[in-house]
Amino acid sequence: MSLIQEINCLTGEVTVYEIPDEETISELVEEIIETPTE
């Protein structure tokens, strides 16, 4: 996961959030594909 810090230049509000890296996305996709649907 990558940690991003964002500053909104209009409001001055600063937020910190995570975005998944490519490896994490691949793992999640694999997990979804392997999960049987009901």
Partner 1 sequence: MAISTTFSPGSDDWTLIATVTPNTSVSSVVFSSIPVHSKLMLVDRGVWAGTASTAKWIRINNDTTPSKYLGSRLNAATPALANVNDANNIVNDYFVAANAAFATQFFFTIESANTSNPKLVKSIGQFNQLQGLYLGSAPVTRLDYILSTSLISTSNPAALELYGVK
Q: Closer to partner 1 by CB, 18 or 30: give it.
A: 18
2-15 exposure pattern, b = at least 16 Cβ within 10 A, e = fewer: eeeeeeeeeeeeee
Cβ proximity of 21 and 27 under 8 Å: no
11 near partner 1 (CB under 8 A): yes
Minimal distance, residue 14 CB to partner 1, in Å: 6
Minimal distance, residue 10 CB to partner 1, in Å: 4
Q: Closer to partner 1 by CB, 4 or 30: give it.
A: 4
